Amino acid sequence: MIYTYKYKSPLGRILLAADEVGITGLWFEGQKYFANTLPDKHIPQETEILTEAKHSDKQCGRFYCRFPMDRRSHTEKLPAKWQR
């Protein structure tokens, strides 16, 4: 099952998605392909993985802002399950 959580980041509102294994998606509200790979059946509920992702943002100095600049050390600890 996929769980979602809306998060207010310094860059705007983010929708995080995860299953029991790890993060499966991250979208900024208003982006062109917002939640385009999110299954119709999902539960809007904060889970342990989504909480960890939310707290990682605060612990490592807004990793969402810095991640593209190759600061992966803090995000490597978050389990991810990317879909294509």
**Which whole-number Å values give the CA distances from 70 to 33, 53, 66, 75, 80, in the listed order?**
24, 17, 7, 10, 17
Full pLDDT tens readout for the chain, 84 residues? 999 999 888 888 999 999 988 888 889 999 999 999 999 999 999 888 888 877 765 544 444 444 444 444 444 556 666 555
Burial 24-43 (b: 16+ CB within 10 A, else e): bbbbeeeeeeeeeebeeebe
Helix (H, G, I), strand (E, B) or coil at 4: strand
